[in-house]
Structure 1
């Protein structure tokens, strides 16, 4: 009886395992997860002074006992968010493409960028409907949907797409936490009596800070991985 050795390269299971390991290494090489998080954190922080001093438009004025009730819409802030998000996603796409080209790889960032820009467009349309066609008090379900497509929520939805593209479990878990903070919203009672001029700031500081901490965390993790 003789025993013939089978070269590892001819073993289908070994080939499948090698191809999976190679695909995993390619995904790791393509990841620049920290970059979009830091860019979107910067966009969120800059929005704070923009929303504070942006011009306001008045709509849906209704007579009530003792006066008039109107809805105030921050037109300048709305325009800022749409333009800033589109520019941010264009910058993120450029970063991913540059990294992919430098490593001789293809990039799958297009669906993420398209989703982000599409949500910016939805943000514009939704804002027009919400502020000009509807009158308060708004239904609870509608408020929840609006929080999902408003700037901070739209950022979270786009990050879900990025976590799927990168097969990145850590980013998925981070995004779930981020969306919970945005949709609840969690402010720890901070700024609850600041009024309409600054009352929005705590939520932006917390969501922007979470994005910044996440970006720095992913950056440090990636650098440590390369040093090993």
Structure 2
């Protein structure tokens, strides 16, 4: 005859395990990852026509072109502010519906701060170029990566890192790292195809389209995973 030890109702180890399980469940209930990614994907897709029709392109007979992306400059800062406000509202409403608290404020603040990075970088570059001639040599690799990072879709990835930390969400962290790698290393390719005016616009639209697709795929993936857990 064998005896097995059983945890008493007041066993500290069992109480600690229950508390950890409850805390984990609360974190899962607080997550609105798919909503955040869906909102960001929608904002990214909506940016394409603003950038396309708001871009001024002047091409010389030799095929060289100069362009100014004023439409994107005017669109992204208010669009991102509205997007992060909408995401914060969704998190707060979901938390209140479950009688929980929401920790989304640091994410919303980070999103608001990063929304100002792109126009600030644009103004800084414009002021620099007004005092210095345009360099004949292409930017070094680190300069290209930095340029891609301060673009709005790069700043989206930075804010998502904060959201992954707040949610203790390893899956979102891995997704965000993959997203940033795609933004910095894969999508911003200079295709240079088609007629000059159309080709410049298409080259600028493709990275935004690719980022929107990645964000939308992430939203659908996290939504499907949440349904399976339920």
Distance 1:222 1:174 in 2: 15
Give the structure 1 partner of residue 165 of structure 2.
164
Please list every run of 5 or more consecutive structure 2 residues that lacks an aligned counterpart in the other structure. Answer: 1-5
**Does the residue aligned with 2:186 lie in a helix, a strand or coil?**
coil
Query: More deviation in 124-133 or 45-54?
Result: 124-133
Q: How many residues align?
A: 213
Residue 18 in structure 1 maps to residue 18 in structure 2: yes
Give the structure 2 partner of residue 193 of structure 1.
193
**Does the residue aligned with 1:184 lie in a helix, a strand or coil?**
helix
- CA RMSD, Structure 1 to Structure 2 (Å): 2.6
Give the structure 2 partner of residue 124 of structure 1.
119
Q: Deviations over 1:34-53 (max 9, x none)?
A: 00101111111111111010
Contact 1:115 1:158 in 2 (8 A): yes
Distance 2:192 2:222 in 1: 32
Contact 2:80 2:115 in 1 (8 A): yes
Contact 1:85 1:120 in 2 (8 A): yes
Alignment of 1:64-79 (within 5 A): 72-79=67-74
CA distance change for structure 1 residues 133 and 196 in 2, over 3 Å: closer, same or farther? same
Distance 1:186 1:215 in 2: 19
Q: Deviations over 1:153-208 (max 9, x none)?
A: 00011111111111111111111111011001336x79441421221122111110
TM-score in terms of structure 1 length = 0.84
Residue 133 in structure 1 maps to residue 167 in structure 2: no
State the 1:224 CA deviation. Answer: 2.3
Give the structure 2 partner of residue 28 of structure 1.
28
Distance 2:209 2:117 in 1: 24
Residue 207 in structure 1 maps to residue 211 in structure 2: yes
Please list every run of 5 or more consecutive structure 1 residues that lacks an aligned counterpart in the other structure. Answer: 59-65
**Does the residue aligned with 2:68 lie in a helix, a strand or coil?**
strand
**Does the residue aligned with 2:72 lie in a helix, a strand or coil?**
helix
Q: What is the aligned counterpart of 1:80 among 75, 79, 95?
A: 75
Query: More deviation in 195-204 or 91-100?
Result: 195-204
CA distance change for structure 1 residues 139 and 14 in 2, over 3 Å: closer, same or farther? same
Contact 2:161 2:173 in 1 (8 A): yes
Give the structure 1 partner of residue 223 of structure 2.
219
State the 1:151 CA deviation. Answer: 0.6
Distance 1:24 1:192 in 2: 49
Contact 2:55 2:201 in 1 (8 A): no
